[in-house]
Amino acid sequence: MDIFAEKTILTVSRLTALLRGVLEENFEQVWVQGEVSNLSLPSSGHLYFTLKDTGAQLRCVMFKGAVKNLKFRPADGMALIARGRISVYDQRGEYQLICEYLEPAGVGALQMAFMQLKERLAKEGLFDEGHKQPLPTFPRRIGVITSATGAAIHDILNVLKRRFASLEILLYPVRVQGEGAAPEIGRAIDDMNRLGLVDVLIVGRGGGSLEDLWAFNEEVVARAVYRSKLPVISAVGHETDWTICDFVADLRAPTPSAAAELVVASSLELRGQLDALSHHLRMALESRLAALNARVDALRRSLHDPSTMLGHLAQRVDDLSERLEMALENTTLHRRERFERLRSVLLFHSPDRQTERFQQQLAMLSHQLERQLRDKIQQEKHAFGSVAARLEVLSPLRTLSRGYAIAAASDGTVVTTVAQLTEGDRLKLQLFHGTAICRVEELENRNA
């Protein structure tokens, strides 16, 4: 239909649909770069934002399915490159970019995701030195979490066999790259902790690109390493490769081979240390025995005649006995004096005397209370009489006793004027004694 050939009147919906068709057909795949603003991520899971530059702005939406594949989290002010298709949102009559892919401008999406996750986990304290555990000095069994076919396991086994051939190795094979590798590594760390069969864990793989090592940058692996009760050595990639797992682990090894060297000392080194310790122990024992022999000789030379020592001790006992006797006499005298002082005080504070004083005080208070009660009763009687007299003067019954009556209509309303009545009305008259029911026969002074 050629809408320009003749006067064709379109509805708004029809025109919008035509424009949408034109845009979607001609802008099916576009790349756009701009600065993010008005970012919104509602509970639906869709991502809404605006891309702008100095001259224009473009509304953008990224639906939930594509948002799940993002490796980083967009933020206001971030420069992004977006790929998608142009469409029209009918309800607002605005064109928008439906994004299928986003990446930070000037830095890769994976690098941005790495930096964002590293910053967030650092703020939570997952990298704190205070949480890191020391490695066991002499592990009996070592757990290795890596690929069963990769070069890392062969390097680790070769080094451990050379350094300590009798050491037991328990391998937990996992995928170390690709989709699903990160949850598998995290689950392996949890399983090793639950089984409790090893003393230390080596988690890692050989070198590779950032994409190849990405499983060790996933949050699920970082949190599994953080909650591990077993010490964890991270051995991912080469010496220049750093992953989130390295920052969380208790120890970072530059390579898997280095991890094997760090986890246990070689048997030759241990034998040398043992020989050195044995030599130091032998020297210390010989020195200690020589010192003890010299001490025994000195004690032997200083030992006196036992009878002389017993005489000195007997004299010492006599001195102590005399001092004890004098101390007992002084103590007895002081306690007798203290007893007399306490007896005098007790007599002064005798319960009989206290009781007599309290009885006198009680009698005086009772007399005062009785006098105050009589005065109070007299005041209340006088006040009651005054109030009763005033009530008697103001009482309606007193007025009724002089021949007056209170007239009330059938609904209980007190009648004060003839304007409230009509002939034939029934009235209830309240007299001084009793009531009377009357009928109105005639009304006078109607206009009064």
- Residues 160, 260 within the same domain: yes
- Tell how far CA 169 is from the center of its chain: 40
How high is the pLDDT of residue 184? 93
Asked if 154 and 252 sit in the same domain, the reply is: yes
CA dihedral 60, 64, 67, 69 (to 10 degrees): -140
Same structural domain, 150 and 84: no
Residue 64 lies in a domain: yes
Tokens of 15: 């025109």
- 168-173, strands of its sheet edge to edge: 168-173, 141-146, 200-205, 232-236, 251-252
Question: For position 305, what pLDDT does the model report?
Answer: 64
* Distant-in-sequence contacts of 161-165, Cβ < 8 A, 24+ apart: 162/266, 163/260, 163/261, 163/264, 163/265, 163/266, 163/267, 164/264, 164/265, 164/266, 164/267, 164/270, 165/267
8 A C-beta contact, residue 197 and residue 170: yes
pLDDT at 314: 76
Domain housing 380: 353-394
Q: Is residue 160 part of a domain?
A: yes
Q: Going by C-beta distance under 8 Å and a sequence separation of 6 or more, which residues neighbour residue 437?
A: 426, 427, 428, 429
What pTM was estimated for this model as a whole?
0.45
Written as one string, the DSSP assignment of 146-184 is E-SSSHHHHHHHHHHHHH-TT-EEEEEE---SSTTHHHH
CATH number at residue 63: 2.40.50.140
> Are 383 and 432 found together in one domain?
no
Tokens coding 300: 């032997």
Q: Is residue 346 part of a domain?
A: no
Write out the two tokens for 99: 């994004």
Same-domain check for residues 411 and 368: no
**266 Cβ contact list (under 8 Å, min separation 6):** 162, 163, 164
Q: Spell out the long-range contacts of 157-163 with Cβ–Cβ below 8 A and sequence spacing 24 or more.
A: 157/260, 158/257, 158/260, 159/257, 159/260, 159/261, 160/260, 160/263, 160/264, 162/266, 163/260, 163/261, 163/264, 163/265, 163/266, 163/267
pLDDT for the residue numbered 270: 55
- Rounded to 10°, the helix 181-195/219-227 angle is 10
Task: Tally helices (H) and strands (E) across the chain.
Answer: 12, 13
How crowded is residue 345: how many other Cβ atoms within 10 Å of its Cβ? Answer: 9
Same domain (yes/no): 241, 261: yes
User: Up-side HSE of residue 290: CA atoms within 13 Å toward CB?
Assistant: 6
Kindly give the residue spans of alpha helices, DSSP state H, lying in 349-424.
351-394, 396-400
Residue 286 lies in a domain: no
**Tens digit of pLDDT at every position of the chain (448 positions):** 555 556 677 777 777 777 777 776 777 788 888 888 888 888 888 999 988 887 888 899 999 888 888 877 888 878 888 889 888 887 887 888 999 888 877 555 667 777 888 888 889 998 898 989 998 888 889 999 999 888 888 888 888 888 776 788 899 999 998 888 999 999 999 999 999 999 999 998 888 777 788 889 888 999 999 999 999 999 888 877 788 898 999 999 888 888 888 887 644 565 656 767 776 888 888 888 888 888 888 877 776 667 667 777 777 887 888 889 888 889 889 888 888 888 877 777 777 777 877 888 888 888 888 889 988 888 988 888 888 778 777 777 777 777 788 888 878 788 878 877 888 888 888 787 888 888 888 887 766 5
Q: Is 332 a member of any domain?
A: no
pLDDT for the residue numbered 266:
45
Q: Under a CB-based contact definition with an 8 Å cutoff, are residues 200 and 228 in contact?
A: no
Question: Is the same domain home to 135 and 18?
Answer: no
> Tokens representing 437?
């029911």
In degrees and rounded to multiples of 5, residue 439 shows phi and psi of -120, 140
Where do we find the tokens 């309303």?
413
Same domain, 390 and 410: no
With respect to residue 231, please indicate whether it lies within any of the assigned structural domains. yes
Residue 341 lies in a domain: no
Q: 289 is written with which tokens?
A: 């025995």
Residues 400/430, Cβ–Cβ less than 8 Å: yes
For residue 214, give the nearest of 248, 240, 189, 179 by alpha carbon. Answer: 179
Statement to judge: residues 415 and 441 lie in one domain: yes
Q: How many domains does the chain have?
A: 4
Of 106, 139, 165, which closes a domain? Answer: 106
